Amino acid sequence: MSLIDALERLKGPVSANASPLRVFLACGFTPLHLGTFLSAHLRNLYPSCRVELKSGLFGDLIGNLERLRSEEHDALAVVIEWPDLDSRLGLRTLGGWQVDKLPDIVNSVDLSLKRLTLALQRLPFGLPTRVCLPTLPLPPLFYTGAERCSVFELNLRRSVAAFAESISFVPHVSVVSGQRLDENSPPGKRFDLRTEVTQGFPYKVFHASVLGELLAEVIFRHEPKKGLITDLDDTLWAGILGEVGVAGIHWHLEDHAQVHGIYQQFLASLASAGVLIAAASKNDATLVDQAFKRADLLLSKANVFPIEAHWRRKSESVQNILKKWNVLAESVVFVDDSPMEVAEVQTAFPGMECLVFPKDDYAAFWGLLSHLRNRFAKISISEEDSLRLQTIRNSAAFREPEGEEGSSLDDFLKGAEGRLTFAFGKPLEDPRAFELINKTNQFNLNGKRYDEADWSRFLEDPRKYLVTVSYQDKFGKLGKTAVLTGRLRGKQFVVETWVMSCRAFSRRIEFHCLQYLFEKFAVAEIFFELQATGRNGPLIEFLQQLVDGPVEANSQLSRSSFLRKVPKMPHQVEEVSANG
Amino acid sequence: MDDGDVRLMRCFASAFPSATPDEIRTAKFDAMPGWDSLRGVTLLAVLDQEFGVQIDLPELLELETFDAVKRYLLQRGAI
């Protein structure tokens, strides 16, 4: 925020019945632009409030705190700079920097910090108080030069650190994070000697802006989020569980999957601080259960509740989790590596914060961790925090599961602008169909696998057809996601192989596949060479929606039955020749 | 009004929120509604951010008016 933006923000009208937000800014310098920025950021954070900022006498920080009438304020921001602890550490007085004066400066700072501690301890419990430690550089008063730390400088910094530690135990007092300030305001670009000398204001305008924003954020923190719902595949771990199996998922350095390990460690840390953690994954529940039994998993299954692992929509999983937790969507963060899943959940729960897990971007991943830590920030951990998960687990066991539509899938899919490409033919150079058939388990008609010789024979057989399906939408490309093979038998098309990547579920691509077959081959029935494999439940569940009667081995689907039961087909479809 | 004029007017209006555009254009600083030295310092900081020109308070007071500040900025190639 520039100064002109801040000033204009403060010119904006305030409702006549706005409640006052009375903040005292305690500092030893002229608050000037820091006050402007703090007020403007508070206005942004609390638009329904009338911000009233007061400050005390110039050059008397500790006295201002000692004289403070706390009942007149809703919050207190204390900004300490070195001259507040000893005026010789400032540049507006000329008390001397001779070597023999340095020990006395250290002693004087200690005394000032003791006075400050007492003043802060005397403040009433209900007054939120935020203390910012010195942000500006020490002046060049040490004989060791700028490259080496003088023992006096180290003493000064130790005293300030000890002071910060002691006041952090005072219930209403919090210390503003120096690390956060360093991230946003480079330490070497904060001090303005010109304005310090001519105006009594030591900050560059940019530093004042950053510090004002940080103070506004910490003065009245938002309620921390209560729960985090995480995806599993390519999020909690690297790899698609259904494709690579329990032993094939990774989160360690040697497997180039360290970010997933760090993420697990981070979630375990959140859980230990009382944050609810749940998993929502389009996955095989049995496999997920086995994966959570891996001894090297850094996030214990005991800390994850509930685990929603099935093939239905993510928003449905999220809905179920919210019910079991009994919390509002606004109190929850959802994390998934798929932008489409994130968008689907966001559409269903507009108040929920939905974030993409940036598995391939280290900088973004670092930013995500920092962001999440802030979202779940607490000033202290209570006993109730450690009991929360067990309480919810117990309550949920008595609650009946309820089915309820989270949002309109039709609307969401329509907005996704999906495009399906059916490649008809048998390209000899493209191994993707072969790979997909041989590694897909969940949405797999019969578990049939091919070796290279089988595949060559299939490709050479003129009676057999191959259809490869690619998908993309506004969220990105999924690439080749489904493969069908089969043959014509009278008025039937016999599907011999049908696989689809689990990443493509819930997009109705499977319905489009069947529609394509009916139209392409102008048949009245589709015959499925179905075999239950113990792992292909998702495909069987899908067919049960369409086939009249129970789905068994060698089921068939009539065109009329399909047309009667098929939902809206959301995607644009095109056909290309796979042979170029 | 040219672009420099608009930007300068925005600076003055933000520093002197109770002054009208006419007052900003015609009044001397010390006669501007709401004038005090803190307002002056605020105007200096806004001018610095907007035009990259550092002016001291005594220098600003010598300039006296909106038009004089504009000429000053023009002479320094800031607008």
pLDDT at A364: 97
Reported ipTM: the value is 0.85
pLDDT at A213: 95
d(CA A334, CA A342): 8
CB contact under 8 A, B14 and A7: yes
Percent of chain A with pLDDT over 70: 94
pLDDT at A383: 59
Which among A551, A501, A506, A558 has a CA at the least distance from the CA of A529? A551
User: Looking at the complex, does the CB of residue A512 fall below 8 Å from at least one CB of chain B?
Assistant: no
Residue type, position A265, single letter: Q
Do residues A301 and A293 make contact, with C-beta atoms less than 8 angstroms apart?
yes
Number of Cβ pairs closer than 8 Å across A and B?
Answer: 40
Q: Reduced to 3 states, what is the DSSP secondary structure of residue A164? A: helix
CB contact under 8 A, B41 and A8: no
Which among B76, B50, B65, B63 has a CA at the least distance from the CA of A2? B50
**Max intra-chain CA distance, chain B:** 30
Instruction: Find the radius of gyration of the CA atoms of chain A.
Output: 32
Confidence of residue A399 (pLDDT cuts 50, 70, 90): very low
CB contact under 8 A, A36 and B42: yes
d(CA A167, CA A180): 19
d(CA B45, CA A475): 44
Residue type, position B26, single letter: T
Confidence of residue A382 (pLDDT cuts 50, 70, 90): low
pLDDT one-digit tens code per residue, A196-218: 998 899 999 999 999 999 999 98
pLDDT at A397: 47
Vertex A223 angle, CA A219 and A227, to 5°:
145
Confidence of residue A450 (pLDDT cuts 50, 70, 90): confident
pLDDT one-digit tens code per residue, A466-499: 999 998 888 777 788 899 999 999 999 999 999 9
Averaged pLDDT for residues A275-281: 96
User: Looking at the complex, does the CB of residue B54 fall below 8 Å from at least one CB of chain A?
Assistant: yes
Q: Which of B46, B53, B57 has the most A C-beta neighbours within 10 Å, making it the best mutation to test the interface with A?
A: B46
**Residue A387 pLDDT exceeds 80:** no
Q: What is the pTM of this model?
A: 0.69
Do residues A513 and A462 make contact, with C-beta atoms less than 8 angstroms apart?
no
Which among A333, A299, A298 has a CA at the least distance from the CA of A228? A333
